[in-house]
Amino acid sequence: MHPISRRLFLAGSVAVVVGACSDATTSGSTTPRPENTVAATTPPSSSTAPTPTSSTVPTPRLPGDPFTLGVASGDPDPTSVVLWTRLAPDPLAGGGMPDANVPVTWQASSDDTFATVAHSGSTVATTAHGHSVHALAELPSGTWYYRFSADGFVSPTGITHVAPAQDTPTASVRFATASCQHYETGFYRAHADIADQQPDFLVWLGDYIYEGGGGSVGKDGRVRSHVTAEPTTLADYRNRYALYKSDPDLQAAHAVCPWFVIWDDHEVENNYAGLSPQNPADAAGFAERRYEAYQAWWEHMPVRLEPPAAADADYVIYRAVQWGDLLGITLLDTRQYRTDQACNDVTLSTEPPCDELFEEGRTLTGDRQEQFLYDTIGNQQTVWNVIGQQVVMTDLTFNGAVLNFDQWDGYPANRKRILAHLAEQAIPNVVVLTGDIHLAGVGQLHSDDPGSSAPVGVEFVATSISSSGNIPASLTELVKSFPDVIDAELVHRGYILHTVTPAAWSAEYRIVDDARFPDSAVSAYRTFVIDTGTNTVRKEQP
């Protein structure tokens, strides 16, 4: 058990979310309707709402408040946004839902009391999809409060908005990048800070869950426990997502703004590559395990995607998104199509790499996704051309040695083609947004040898929300000594808050004093700035 403070929810700018949470608690405790076979109808307190489309699906009585996992929104485009929830009265034990499909309605209002409901819709949460809901809400621009109802229960309230129209001059945007929220090794103070900051959106760069089996609190740096064994089935992964999503700070960060979500490795298993598990001995059944993990990921993320089709089919989640005429973002998946890590994936070796590393056919993106990147980056008519992806792209080789074969350093031919493309096409204002490595870093990307040729972009590496550091803090000066590394901070957990205008990109690195404590303070570490047209990053002078 962990003493997560409800106070966080009551602080400052997320009060509106909190108020709605309280509403949900109240309405969730109302007596269930005696008649439980009536079609879904207008939810409570929606006096001026148009009557949602009646569903022919009867409503089974739910055993308790199904909105234990909060609400989320995601993948906004200029006319619509995905509204997410999952019905789970008993979230850590399979969800606790009756074996039946359940009608769900959603409402969106410009005021947090829902006195007038401008938009609403209905959908069905199915047993096949773990009673998850992905409702596509068509909404005008502006701030929208949204909530769901099912069987008389009402969800907490979230805040969302659609993206600016793609040809709209967009004066500024403020958004967060974050990744790596190991539940056992830290509390989600960074998420509480995100909720306080109220960004326009968040880009999640992977490692939403970790797959390790639960251990004892107090052992190996654990401040709380996964409790259950390592997940391998859909049911296991559902329970693991539910554990993570039970955290009120994570729920608050979802409720405050739409997210764009991609995954990394731990949503399935550490350092898996395509259909190769981390340990070759686990190859039998890995395709099915991966498929079920992908299904659980889809069920729990507010993504504008269909669920995966089959264990032997690709599940394409890479996609391009846009924010007005300011940001074009290509979101990549560097796990599903990659060649297995070279040279036995040895880490922190200072020996010269084996010949396998240099094979031209080795790929991190896969050929089709690499072409997709070339088709999108620089072609969205935006000021900034952004790549959101998982692993560090900045060159961190050490006298030719590859310290981490899981990163782009382990796929040099693929990286060289992409950086050369950026240079040859003279694509302006390239920013790469990265997670994975549990340290805060700023890198300068070059198309040629480190430190030599003209810069082709800047990489901002977000540290982990809560996952403990991968690289000993004693190596800080070594990491900072690499020619393309502008700065690195290895000690703290946190995230990045980006403020972007047509003139400049400002990345404020926010860090948690000590994520092992639930009330730890969050503050600014440093801010880094790119002036438009330079592809060069500098530390902001205080």
Taking the least distance from each CB to Ca ion, the nearer of 207 and 409 is 207
Asked if residue 158 lies in contact with residue 212, where contact means CB atoms within 8 angstroms, the answer is no
Taking the least distance from each CB to Fe ion, the nearer of 207 and 267 is 207
Interacting partner of 265 out of Fe ion, Ca ion, none (Cβ under 5 to 8 A depending on kind): Ca ion
Taking the least distance from each CB to Ca ion, the nearer of 200 and 265 is 265
- Asked if 386 touches Fe ion (CB under 5 A), the answer is no
Taking the least distance from each CB to Fe ion, the nearer of 204 and 528 is 204
Structure tokens, 173: 């945007």
Q: Which of 23, 193, 207, 406 binds Fe ion (CB under 5 A)?
A: 207
Asked if residue 305 lies in contact with residue 328, where contact means CB atoms within 8 angstroms, the answer is no
Asked if residue 329 lies in contact with residue 323, where contact means CB atoms within 8 angstroms, the answer is yes
Cβ of residue 468: shortest distance to Fe ion, in angstroms? 10
Helix (H, G, I), strand (E, B) or coil at 171: coil
- Asked if 265 touches Ca ion (CB under 5 A), the answer is yes
Q: Which residues pair with 386 in a beta bridge?
A: 329, 431
Q: Where are the alpha helices (DSSP H) in 246-342?
A: 248-256, 286-300
- Asked if 301 touches Fe ion (CB under 5 A), the answer is no
Q: Which of 75, 249, 264, 395 binds Ca ion (CB under 5 A)?
A: 264
d(CA 109, CA 111) in angstroms, rounded, equals: 5
Size of interface with Fe ion, in residues (CB under 5 A)? 3
d(CA 502, CA 507) in angstroms, rounded, equals: 14
Question: From the CB of residue 32, how many other CB atoms can be counted at a distance below 10 Å?
Answer: 14
Asked if residue 365 lies in contact with residue 390, where contact means CB atoms within 8 angstroms, the answer is no
- Contact region for Ca ion (CB under 5 A) — 29-37, 114-122, 265-273, 444-452? 265-273
Cβ of residue 343: shortest distance to Ca ion, in angstroms? 19
**288: alpha, beta or left, given left = phi > 0 and alpha = psi -120 to 50?**
alpha
- Contact region for Ca ion (CB under 5 A) — 26-34, 54-62, 199-207, 247-255? 199-207
Cβ burial of 58 (10 Å; 0-12, 13-18, 19+) is middle
Buried b (16+ CB within 10 A) or exposed e, 345-355: eeeeeeeebee
- Asked if 325 touches Fe ion (CB under 5 A), the answer is no
- Asked if 406 touches Ca ion (CB under 5 A), the answer is no
Asked if residue 442 lies in contact with residue 516, where contact means CB atoms within 8 angstroms, the answer is no
Q: Which residues pair with 504 in a beta bridge?
A: 531
- Asked if 180 touches Fe ion (CB under 5 A), the answer is yes
Contact characters 435-474, Fe ion, x per CB under 5 A: --------------------------------x-------
Cβ of residue 335: shortest distance to Ca ion, in angstroms? 9
d(CA 520, CA 85) in angstroms, rounded, equals: 29
Cβ of residue 391: shortest distance to Ca ion, in angstroms? 7
Taking the least distance from each CB to Fe ion, the nearer of 67 and 263 is 263
Cβ of residue 346: shortest distance to Fe ion, in angstroms? 19
Cβ of residue 119: shortest distance to Ca ion, in angstroms? 38
Taking the least distance from each CB to Ca ion, the nearer of 120 and 407 is 407
Residue 102: enclosing H or E segment and its boundaries? Answer: strand 102-109
Cβ of residue 207: shortest distance to Fe ion, in angstroms? 4
Please say whether the dihedral angle defined by the alpha carbons of residues 350, 356, 361 and 367, taken in this order, is positive or negative. negative
Q: Which residues pair with 331 in a beta bridge?
A: 319, 388
Q: Which residues pair with 174 in a beta bridge?
A: 499
- Asked if 431 touches Fe ion (CB under 5 A), the answer is no
- Asked if 333 touches Ca ion (CB under 5 A), the answer is no
- Contact region for Fe ion (CB under 5 A) — 9-17, 176-184, 331-339, 503-511? 176-184
- Contact region for Ca ion (CB under 5 A) — 201-209, 291-299, 363-371, 459-467? 201-209
Report DSSP letters for 373-431, one per residue: HHHHTT-S--SEEEEE-SS--S---BTTB-SBTTSGGG-HHHHHHHHHHHHHTT--SEE
Interacting partner of 123 out of Ca ion, Fe ion, none (Cβ under 5 to 8 A depending on kind): none
- Asked if 292 touches Ca ion (CB under 5 A), the answer is no
Taking the least distance from each CB to Fe ion, the nearer of 324 and 435 is 435
Cβ of residue 102: shortest distance to Ca ion, in angstroms? 35
Q: Which of residues 407-426 bind Ca ion (CB under 5 A)?
A: none
Q: Which of 249, 299, 436, 508 binds Ca ion (CB under 5 A)?
A: 436
Taking the least distance from each CB to Fe ion, the nearer of 296 and 462 is 462
Asked if residue 359 lies in contact with residue 413, where contact means CB atoms within 8 angstroms, the answer is yes
Cβ of residue 333: shortest distance to Ca ion, in angstroms? 13
Strands annotated E in 230-283: 259-261
List contacts with Ca ion (CB under 5 A). Answer: 207, 264-265, 436
List contacts with Fe ion (CB under 5 A). Answer: 180, 207, 467
